[in-house]
């Protein structure tokens, strides 16, 4: 088994934990604060990862260059913008269509990987990406009174366009992080991924902290009162991101993002086993398609 596969699966599992913890934080702070803790409380751990790799494992520090900093800037900004659009979707009554189209991120990442990095995915890989994306889109509309015909008809709607824009920005961010890590060139994929994470999360922390100081200083106080759960979010979030960045150093961003859809399986497993929730046939079909796509991706 190629190394990027278990790294991606572990990252998806940790991201599922981070998302659950962030939902808990939404009860004590706003969306901005719950988003910030992912970066602000993750920054010390990102720095710790780099120091452990240097002083513990003996790896040399990576040397950032202009190309690296440029890709980090693009990735950090597009990720925040993509997250903003996704959250904005939830303010609409019928956000299922938009959410479904936001899940096209792996397909769009494949396109941007070709445009920016000249990386061409093989037919089997493209098929696997398509299968997983259809599966996730099915899950996104599972509780909405609509059919695939209605989903296609709604392509030109405001919600769908916002969702597509979100997926586009997430795709650009993923490819940017891979480009940033590869531009370092040395010493190895672990240090390159950790360095990319450190610079990205530092940039995003400063940006979001500046925004809160300007527009919502009260949120900083709410974050401070919930520092213990925020620290957990920072730890699992930074560790998950290290997994993503490391995996995307080893493999194309689109392929990593396709396998990352396994997070949906973890989410449903938690819902059924721990919260005793039921899932409908459409969700089951979506899960089966995700599994099928992953099997094609890994085995073919």
Please write the tens of the pLDDT for every residue from 168-186: 999 999 999 999 999 999 8
Q: How far is CA 239 from CA 31, 47, 83, 115, 152, in A?
A: 22, 11, 19, 29, 37
Length of the chain: 300
**Domain of residue 252, residue span:** 4-299
For residue 199, what pLDDT is reported? 98
For residue 155, what pLDDT is reported? 60
**Using CA atoms, how far apart are residues 159 and 94, in angstroms rounded to an integer?**
8
For residue 11, what pLDDT is reported? 94
Element of type H or E holding 235? helix 227-250
Number of other CB atoms surrounding residue 185 within 10 Å: 12
For residue 121, what pLDDT is reported? 83
Mean pLDDT by 10 residues, the chain (300 residues): 91 85 75 85 96 96 96 95 79 63 85 89 88 81 62 64 88 96 93 97 95 90 89 93 96 92 79 68 82 84
pTM attached to this predicted model: 0.88
| Of 33, 86, 37, the residue nearest 212 (C-alpha) | 33
Structure tokens at 241: 């991101």
Overall number of domains in the chain: 1
For tokens 């992912």, the residue is 38
pLDDT tens track for 75-104: 999 998 888 887 777 666 555 666 667 788
For residue 109, what pLDDT is reported? 92
CB 293 within 8 A of CB 135: yes
Q: How far is CA 29 from CA 66, 151, 235, 300, in A?
A: 37, 34, 19, 45
Number of other CB atoms surrounding residue 65 within 10 Å: 12
CB 100 within 8 A of CB 151: yes
Close Cβ partners of 247 (under 8 Å, ≥ 6 residues apart): 4, 7, 8, 11, 193, 256
**Using CA atoms, how far apart are residues 196 and 216, in angstroms rounded to an integer?**
29
């Amino acid at each position: 088994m190629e190394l990027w596969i278990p790294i991606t699966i572990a990252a998806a599992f940790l991201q599922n934990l981070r998302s659950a913890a962030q939902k808990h934080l939404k009860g004590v702070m706003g969306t901005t604060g719950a988003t910030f803790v992912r970066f602000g409380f993750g920054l010390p751990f990102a720095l710790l990862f780099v120091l452990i790799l240097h002083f513990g494992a003996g790896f040399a520090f990576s040397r950032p260059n202009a190309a690296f900093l440029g890709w980090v800037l693009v990735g950090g900004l597009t990720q925040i913008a993509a997250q903003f659009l996704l959250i904005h979707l939830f303010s609409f009554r019928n956000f299922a269509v938009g959410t479904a189209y936001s899940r096209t991120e792996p397909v769009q990442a494949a396109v941007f990987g070709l445009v920016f990095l000249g990386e061409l995915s093989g037919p089997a890989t493209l098929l696997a990406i398509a299968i997983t994306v259809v599966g996730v889109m099915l899950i996104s509309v599972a509780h909405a009174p609509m059919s695939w015909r209605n989903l296609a008809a709604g392509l030109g709607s405001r919600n769908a366009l916002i969702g597509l824009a979100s997926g586009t920005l997430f795709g650009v961010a993923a490819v940017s992080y891979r480009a940033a890590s590869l531009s370092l060139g040395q010493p190895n994929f672990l240090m390159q991924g950790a360095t990319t994470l450190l610079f990205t999360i530092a940039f995003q922390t400063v940006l979001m902290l500046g925004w809160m100081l300007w527009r919502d200083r009260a949120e900083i106080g709410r974050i401070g009162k919930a520092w213990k759960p925020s620290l957990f979010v920072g730890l699992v979030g930074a560790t998950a991101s290290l997994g993503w960045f490391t995996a995307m150093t080893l493999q194309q961003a689109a392929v990593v993002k396709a396998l990352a859809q396994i997070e949906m399986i973890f989410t449903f497993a938690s819902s059924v086993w721990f919260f005793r929730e039921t899932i409908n046939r459409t969700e089951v079909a979506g899960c089966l398609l995700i599994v099928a796509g992953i099997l094609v991706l890994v085995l073919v």
